Amino acid sequence: MTLQMFLIFAAALFSIGLYGALSQQSIVMIMMGLELMVNAIIVAAAAFWYFVAPATADGQVLVLVAVTAMAVEMAMGFAVTTAIFRKRDVDMTDMAADLKG
């Protein structure tokens, strides 16, 4: 596989995630779209590292930091979503509009 193939795959993954995040009303589905977009960034970063400078560890560190940030983001997002659902029985974005201050 070439760098261009990986970048096309990452662009397709990012596009699917963007469509999912913008077209859905469910908070969980929006978070899944965001997850796909972050995964696309990770794929592109890993591909650049592999094809540009495989001898250095910079790309591996970047991918590790991105995966860690993604895990923390999703854990916090699901915790907030669960708390909102338990408190107000809200699972759609338009129903959560009254939560803003």
Structural domain for 17, as ranges: 3-90
Answer whether residue 96 is part of any domain: no
Answer whether residue 31 is part of any domain: yes
77 is written with which tokens?
A: 């997002």
Answer whether residue 52 is part of any domain: yes
Residue 11's domain is classified under what CATH number? 1.10.287.3510
pLDDT (tens digit, 9 = 90+) per residue, 84-96? 778 777 767 666 6
| Residues in the chain, total | 101
7 touches 42 (CB < 8 A):
no
Answer whether residue 47 is part of any domain: yes
pLDDT (tens digit, 9 = 90+) per residue, 12-61? 999 999 999 999 888 888 888 999 999 999 999 889 888 988 888 877 88
Is the predicted pLDDT of residue 99 greater than 90, yes or no? no
Number of domains, the chain:
1
Q: HEC profile for the chain?
A: CCHHHHHHHHHHHHHHHHHHHHHCCEHHHHHHHHHHHHHHHHHHHHHHHHHHCCCCCHHHHHHHHHHHHHHHHHHHHHHHHHHHHHHHCCCECCHHHHHCC
Q: What is the pTM of this model?
A: 0.78
Answer whether residue 100 is part of any domain: no
